[in-house]
Amino acid sequence: MNWEVVIGLEIHAQMATKSKLMCNCDASFSSEPNTHVCPGCTGQPGMLPVVNKQVVDNAIMLGLATKCDIRKLNEFARKSYFYPDLPGGYQISQYDKPICENGKLEIEVNGNKRTIGITRIHMEEDAGKLVHAGSDNIKDASYSLVDLNRASVPLCEIVSEPDLRSAEEAIAYAQKIRQIVRYLGVCDGNMEEGSMRCDANVSVRPKGQIKLGTKAEVKNLNSFKAIEKAINIEVERQIDILEDGGEIIQETRHYNEATNSTKSMRSKEDAHDYRYFPDPDLVPLLIDDDWILKVKNLLPELPEEKKERYINSLSLSEYDASIITTEKETADFFEETISYGSKPKETVNWIMSEVLGTLNQNNLKLSETKLTPKLLAELLILIDKNTISGKIAKTILPEIIKTGKNAEEIIKEKGLAQVSDQGELKKIVETVIKENAKVVEDIKNGNPKARGFLIGQIMKKSNGKANPGIANELLNSLLN
């Protein structure tokens, strides 16, 4: 039997606003429980919600970036259920009037481009956190502790159409969403820390069948790797059941990374009647064309546009343009660097390998170092002018990153300038020839490798500073 996999992703992106959705508490992470709370987000009697305008702007931005229709008349609805991390006994969310609908996103997997539909994007409050005491899972804990720091932190829930057909596509889609929210600056997209959470709705059907199979919702996917593994194992589970003649139960399943398996959490059908109704403490949201235009003008250049622009006006290859635009921070750094005169292709290479390589080794972010676009540009220009070799430049870079000193200063301090002076180099080449008479013999006898050895010796004698091109020329002329 040929099975087709059908996946839809629900992504919750925590909005990086200063304050919460419905109160003025600090929305940033705090490791001390219940320090970013107030009577509002702890559901005290008599408290009332007021909408944070920035969250609406962020949702509109997200909608525009994913080519959604922005709804004109919006409502917030109460979603009712009882749980200790939900202080009001209801979550303020959006139900049948979500702010964005009918969007799309293009992904590429193994060279194949696909358009994935986005059903809707809506705004809602996050719930608090539970810490289960005496164990790391609910089942064996003897009690739980409620921390409401996260209660009412704003979320945008992005729901895709069930258009994804493989785990690879699901990851590509999730990565694209992550890239966009980071580009927009509305969310930092950190799955490990929970600022971006992903649930997958997975089903299978015989290839060619139009009707969708029964789906299961898979939760607890804390990384792209987990998304991939969970989807694959769930697909396997479902196919096994169906091939045995069984039926898939519509339910929520919890993914366990350690055992690489999914386990039933609860039945999606009978558990909850959320009793959605428009929140009577809030008034409708009317988004007119003026508002949308204002937000549109604030949109940064999106990754696809940037990539195209780099290919067309900077003559970068598709590959180079792609990798340098993966993160907005990197692309911005790149553009500023070449504005000081360095060459685009070289700049891309240097940023992607040397700069990011050094940073990753030391667990640093670009913004946490003393390296500036100007400093990098200066270094690259020095290489281009042959003042230093690329090799030497690579050794200088960590120092620049650490101290913020410019390349010229460091070169001077350490005497690293590339030696290109004919006279000085000639002396070195002559000395090397003299000291390696046997090798010179080998060369004359036609051994090409021996020549490389001499070049090596010249570099060594000059402490790596000899200009390779000129050293080669001199060696040739002095040997003959």
Partner 1 sequence: MTIDKDTVEHLAKLSRLHLSDNELLSFTKSINEILEYTKSIQQVNTEGVLPAIHALDLQNVFKEDEVINYKYIDKLFENAPDVENHSFKVPRILTN
Partner 2 sequence: MNEILKLSATEISEKYKIKDLSCSEVTKAFLDRINKTNPELNSFVSVSEKSAMETAKIVDEKIAKSQKLNLLEGVPIALKDNMCTNGVATTCCSKMLVNFVPSYDATVVEKIKNNNMPILGKTNMDEFAMGTSTETSFFGSTKNPWDINTVPGGSSGGSAVAISALQAPLALGSDTGGSIRQPASFCGVVGMKPTYGVVSRYGLVAFASSLDQIGPFSKNIKDSATLLSVISGYDAKDSTSQPNIKTNYTELSEPKEIKIGLPKEFFANLDNKTKELYKNITTKLSNEGIIFEEIDMPSLQQGVQTYCIIAPAEASSNLARFDGVRYGYRNKEAKSLVEMMELSRSEGFGAEVKRKILLGTYVLSSGCYDIYYKKAQQVRTIIKNDFQKAFSKYDILLSPTTTTPTFAFGEKSNPLEMYMNDIMTIPANLAGIPALSLPCGIINNLPMGLHLMGNILEEQKLFSIAKKIEQILGFNLQNPYWEK
User: Which residues sit at the interface with partner 2, rule CB under 8 A?
Assistant: 39, 42-51, 78, 80, 82, 84, 87-90, 144, 146, 273, 275-277, 280-283
CB of 123 to partner 1, least distance (A): 12
Burial label for 449, CB within 10 Å (0-12, 13-18, 19+), is exposed
CB of 49 to partner 2, least distance (A): 7
Locate all alpha helices (DSSP H) within 158-273, ordered by sequence: 167-184, 224-243
Q: In what order do the strands lie in the sheet with 90-93?
A: 90-93, 77-80, 277-278
Q: Does the protein bind partner 1 through residue 37 (CB under 8 A)?
A: yes
CB of 59 to partner 2, least distance (A): 18
- The two structure tokens encoding residue 239: 């196919």
- The two structure tokens encoding residue 426: 């000639």
Q: Does the protein bind partner 1 through residue 125 (CB under 8 A)?
A: no
- The interface partner of residue 52, options being partner 1, partner 2, none and the CB cut-off 5 to 8 Å by kind, is partner 1
- The interface partner of residue 88, options being partner 1, partner 2, none and the CB cut-off 5 to 8 Å by kind, is partner 2
- The two structure tokens encoding residue 216: 């299961």
CB neighbours of residue 58 within 10 Å: 24
- The two structure tokens encoding residue 350: 């240097």
- The interface partner of residue 46, options being partner 2, partner 1, none and the CB cut-off 5 to 8 Å by kind, is partner 2
Q: What phi and psi values does residue 73 have, to the nearest 5 degrees?
A: -105, 110
CB of 276 to partner 2, least distance (A): 8
Determine if residue 102 is left, alpha or beta; phi over 0 gives left, psi from -120 to 50 gives alpha, anything else beta. Answer: left
3 state SS of 202: strand
Of 82 and 319, the one with the shorter C-beta distance to partner 2 is 82
- Alpha-carbon distance of 457 to 3, in angstroms, equals 64
User: Which of residues 3, 12, 33, 72 is near partner 1 by CB under 8 A?
Assistant: 33
**Among 340, 460, 459, which Cα is nearest to 406's?**
340
CB of 123 to partner 2, least distance (A): 15
Of 25 and 172, the one with the shorter C-beta distance to partner 2 is 25
Q: Does the protein bind partner 1 through residue 42 (CB under 8 A)?
A: yes
Of 49 and 213, the one with the shorter C-beta distance to partner 2 is 49
Q: Does the protein bind partner 1 through residue 51 (CB under 8 A)?
A: yes
- Judged by CB under 8 A, the stretch of 15-23, 364-372, 405-413, 429-437 that binds partner 1 is 15-23
CB of 327 to partner 2, least distance (A): 38
Length of the chain as a residue count: 480
CB of 89 to partner 2, least distance (A): 2
User: Which of residues 106, 108, 115, 145 is near partner 1 by CB under 8 A?
Assistant: 145
Q: Which of residues 70-89 bind partner 1 (CB under 8 A)?
A: 75, 82, 84
CA 183 to chain centre: 9
User: Which of residues 69, 108, 112, 131 is near partner 1 by CB under 8 A?
Assistant: 131
Q: Does the protein bind partner 1 through residue 52 (CB under 8 A)?
A: yes
Of 278 and 468, the one with the shorter C-beta distance to partner 1 is 278
Measured CA distances, 261 to 7, 137, 218, 264 (Å): 17, 16, 10, 10
- Alpha-carbon distance of 301 to 320, in angstroms, equals 18
Gap between the terminal Cα atoms of the chain: 74
Cβ neighbours for 191, distance < 8 A, ≥ 6 positions apart: 178, 197, 198, 221, 222, 223, 224
Could you tell me if 25 and 19 are in contact, meaning their C-beta atoms sit under 8 angstroms apart? yes
User: Which of residues 14, 19, 252, 467 is near partner 1 by CB under 8 A?
Assistant: 19
CB neighbours of residue 18 within 10 Å: 11
- The interface partner of residue 3, options being partner 2, partner 1, none and the CB cut-off 5 to 8 Å by kind, is none
CB of 262 to partner 2, least distance (A): 25
CB of 52 to partner 1, least distance (A): 5
CB of 30 to partner 2, least distance (A): 18
Instruction: Give the x-and-dash track for 282-321 against partner 1 (CB under 8 A).
Output: xxxxx-----------------------------------
Pairing of strands 154-160, 3-14: antiparallel
- Alpha-carbon distance of 222 to 129, in angstroms, equals 16
Q: In this structure, is the dihedral angle defined by the CA atoms of residues 183, 257, 168 and 115, taken in order, positive or negative?
A: negative
- Under the rule (CB under 8 A), what is the footprint of partner 1? 17-19, 24-27, 32-35, 37-39, 42, 44, 50-56, 75, 82, 84, 130-133, 138-139, 141-148, 265-266, 273, 275, 278, 280, 282-286
